[in-house]
């Protein structure tokens, strides 16, 4: 462990790793705040030492979970703001960039919610998978518009993030039906929309989201149920424009089955991928704070936002 990295940054990294801090937007927010702390508490002797410290902190955060691109996008945003040549100037750069990033994130989610809400009609029932603050922003805005929305919520094994969604929807006054994941096809007949979030969106419009999303999307398409992905532009993956693939996180098998049960079963191999890839042909719309896009056209927005360059600012010069 690099001892230049502030304990608060290490704590945030651990909490992202163990998923006490989870959800793509929430992870990005926490990472930006951690870099801010690194900057405000730094006693670096000169500008170069300060820059090296911030890069080390960013690498510590970056090494936690590989799939949600909001994390590296947050780190890029804050690090690229470092333009000064003095320690005090750089400190202020980081504070300003981190604050601006967090404010933009909040605003983007609210704006995205308005766009997503326009896709929902009064009396609609949605089906959700996992817990996405971007997806819930759409429901919240629809409710604020006076629409009555109901929800069928998939529990989302193995970590049951569907429970968080159920609770949050209940707080919004949305009646919830909780189902096991394998009941999704049965209940697709009863819903008007599938509404999910994203951890990353690739240049070809593929959506990387919680494991089970792709099967849900295929079933929804088969049933003729529209699939909306709520993903602020922070989820667009610039590396995919230059041919990189998105790394799918494999998590601990203990999330699926405990050691005792595993032994009783004769120690089978257990696989626990956290995410899967839904091809663009199964997605009707990607809702962002910049409006809604058919998945195939998302690359145009990506070029506008990121250009073509994708070098990582936390790499050593």
Ligand X SMILES: O=P(O)(O)OC[C@H]1O[C@H](OP(=O)(O)O)[C@H](O)[C@@H]1O
**Binding-site residue positions for substrate:** 22-25, 65, 209-210, 235
- Point out which residues pair with 151 in neighbouring strands: 126, 176
Minimum CB separation of residue 232 from ligand X in Å reads 8
Nearest to 106 by CA among 45, 28, 195, 44: 28
CA 27 to chain centre: 7
DSSP, residue by residue, 58-113: HHHHHTS-SS-THHHHHHHHHHHT---SSHHHHHHHHHHHHHHHHHHHHHHHHHHH
Q: Judge whether 249 and 178 are in contact, CB under 8 Å.
A: no
Question: x/- site string to ligand X, residues 147 to 186, per CB under 6 A?
Answer: --------------x-------------------------
| Of residues 4 and 154, the one with the C-beta less far from ligand X | 154
| Of residues 29 and 124, the one with the C-beta less far from ligand X | 29
Question: x/- site string to ligand X, residues 204 to 223, per CB under 6 A?
Answer: -----xx-------------
Size of the residue set binding ligand X (CB under 6 A): 16
**Residue 122 designated active-site:** no
| Of residues 87 and 184, the one with the C-beta less far from ligand X | 184
Return all residues near 80 (Cβ < 8 A) that are at least 6 apart: 97, 313
Which residue's Cβ has the minimum distance to ligand X?
197
Q: Which stretch binds ligand X (CB under 6 A): 50-58, 194-202, 240-248, 288-296?
A: 194-202
Q: Does residue 134 touch ligand X according to CB under 6 A?
A: yes
**Residue 199 designated active-site:** yes
Nearest to 218 by CA among 254, 250, 194, 234: 194
Minimum CB separation of residue 132 from ligand X in Å reads 3
How far is Cα 249 from Cα 251, in angstroms, rounded to an integer? 6
Q: Which of 93, 125, 133, 225 binds ligand X (CB under 6 A)?
A: 133
Q: Does residue 22 touch ligand X according to CB under 6 A?
A: yes
Minimum CB separation of residue 248 from ligand X in Å reads 11
Minimum CB separation of residue 116 from ligand X in Å reads 11
How far is Cα 27 from Cα 20, in angstroms, rounded to an integer? 10
| Of residues 23 and 205, the one with the C-beta less far from ligand X | 23
The two beta strands, 275-278 and 207-210, are antiparallel
Q: Which of 29, 140, 199, 289 binds ligand X (CB under 6 A)?
A: 199
| Of residues 24 and 149, the one with the C-beta less far from ligand X | 24
Q: Which of 4, 12, 13, 23 binds ligand X (CB under 6 A)?
A: 23
Q: Which of 5, 9, 13, 24 binds ligand X (CB under 6 A)?
A: 24
- What own/partner pairs with CB < 8 Å and gap ≥ 24 does 90-96 have? 90/39, 90/47, 90/50, 90/51, 90/54, 91/39, 91/40, 91/42, 91/50, 94/35, 94/36, 94/38, 94/39, 94/54, 95/36, 95/39, 95/40
Look-up: residue for tokens 């994708």? 310
Q: Does residue 29 touch ligand X according to CB under 6 A?
A: no
Nearest to 24 by CA among 202, 231, 283: 231
| Of residues 53 and 199, the one with the C-beta less far from ligand X | 199
How far is Cα 14 from Cα 8, in angstroms, rounded to an integer? 10
Question: x/- site string to ligand X, residues 226 to 265, per CB under 6 A?
Answer: ----------------------------------------
- Point out which residues pair with 207 in neighbouring strands: 201, 278
Q: Which residues bind ligand X (CB under 6 A)?
A: 22-26, 130, 132-134, 161, 196-197, 199, 209-210, 274
Q: Which residues are catalytic?
A: 130, 199
């Amino acid at each position: 462990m690099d001892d230049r990295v502030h304990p608060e940054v290490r704590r945030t990294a651990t909490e992202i790793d163990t998923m006490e801090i989870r959800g793509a937007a929430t992870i990005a927010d926490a990472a930006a705040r951690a870099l801010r702390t690194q900057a405000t508490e730094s006693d670096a002797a000169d500008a170069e030492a300060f820059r090296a410290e911030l890069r080390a902190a960013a690498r510590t955060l970056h090494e936690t979970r590989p799939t949600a691109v909001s994390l590296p996008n947050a780190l890029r945003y804050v690090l690229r703001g470092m333009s000064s040549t003095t320690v005090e100037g750089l400190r202020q750069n980081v504070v300003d960039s981190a604050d601006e990033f967090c404010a933009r994130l909040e605003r983007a989610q609210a704006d995205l919610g308005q766009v997503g809400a326009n896709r929902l009609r009064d009396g609609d029932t949605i089906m959700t998978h996992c817990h996405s603050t971007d997806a819930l922003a759409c429901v919240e805005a629809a409710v604020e518009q006076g629409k009555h929305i109901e929800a069928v919520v998939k529990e989302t094994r193995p970590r049951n993030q569907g429970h968080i969604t159920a609770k949050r929807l209940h707080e919004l006054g949305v009646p919830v039906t909780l189902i096991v994941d394998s009941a999704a096809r049965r209940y697709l007949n009863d819903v008007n929309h599938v509404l999910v979030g994203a951890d990353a969106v690739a240049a070809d419009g593929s959506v990387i989201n919680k494991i089970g999303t792709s099967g849900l999307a295929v079933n929804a398409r088969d049933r003729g149920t529209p699939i909306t992905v709520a993903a602020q532009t922070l989820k667009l993956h610039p590396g995919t424009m230059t041919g990189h693939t998105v790394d799918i996180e494999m998590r601990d098998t203990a999330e699926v089955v405990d050691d005792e049960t595993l032994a009783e079963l004769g120690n089978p191999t257990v696989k626990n991928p956290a995410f899967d890839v839904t091809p663009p042909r199964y997605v009707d719309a990607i809702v962002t704070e910049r409006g809604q896009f058919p998945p195939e056209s998302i690359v145009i927005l990506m070029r506008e936002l990121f250009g073509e360059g994708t070098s990582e600012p936390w790499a050593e010069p």
